[in-house]
Amino acid sequence: MKIIIGADHGGVELKDLMVKHLETLAHEVEDIGTHGPQSVDYPNYAAMVAAAVTGGRADRGILICGSGIGMSISANRFHGVRAALVTEPYAAKMSRRHNDSNVLCLGGRFLGRDLAFAIVDAWLVEPFEGDRHQRRLTLVDELARTRL
């Protein structure tokens, strides 16, 4: 799977560990940074990951900031992104089964490495169930388009 990953300074430590983890699982990883502890603005990274996923350059995206919240707010502004902020593996699975999440958001300041790896591992293999869940996702897009 081609995975694009980005983080701000609050998520860079976990992001660097995650890149290595994904590579050991033989995924193709595009790491867009950040690459150090200097303060940066998370919306720039969310926008780059969103564009890669919606444009088809990557199959999935992973975004990590301090809490994951700013990344999830930002990524979900982009049409075609279904970003899920999760803190444990079951929610990651459900975000795939019911929501067809294509971007995973994590909080680097409170998730330990092993829990983060377990979340990502679960998220990468879980399939979307489609059917009534697809109908609801289609409704999400329709309402967003017509009720503004």
* Dihedral Cα 115, 125, 141, 5, nearest 10 deg: 60
Neighbours of 139 (CB within 10 A): 10
Please report how the helices 113-125 and 12-24 are oriented relative to each other, as an axis angle in degrees rounded to 10.
50
Comparing CA positions, the residue from 75, 74, 73 lying closest to residue 61 is: 75
33 binds ligand RB5 (CB under 6 A): no
CB of 11 to ligand RB5, least distance (A): 6
The answer to whether 65 is a known catalytic residue is yes
Closest separation in Å from C-beta 26 to ligand RB5: 29
Q: Minimal distance in Å, beta carbon 120 to ligand RB5?
A: 18
* Residue (6 or 70) nearer to ligand RB5, CB: 70
C-alpha separations of 136 from 10, 93, 100, 131 in Å: 33, 18, 11, 9
Comparing CB distances to ligand RB5, the nearer of 9 and 27 is 9
The angle that helices 113-125 and 89-97 make with each other, rounded to 10 degrees, is: 20
Pick from 55, 13, 65, 57: nearest CA to 35: 13
6 is an interface residue for ligand RB5 by CB under 6 A: no
Find the binding residues for ligand RB5 in span 96-135 (CB under 6 A): none
The yes or no reply on residue 10 touching ligand RB5 (CB under 6 A) is: yes
Nearest approach in angstroms of CB 125 to ligand RB5 is 27
Q: Which one from 65, 79, 105, 133 is the annotated catalytic residue? A: 65
Cβ-based nearer residue to ligand RB5, 1 or 69: 69
Return the number of the residue (66 or 89) whose C-beta is nearest ligand RB5. Answer: 66
Q: Which residues pair with 105 in a beta bridge?
A: 63, 85
Q: Is 65 in the site for ligand RB5 (CB under 6 A)?
A: yes
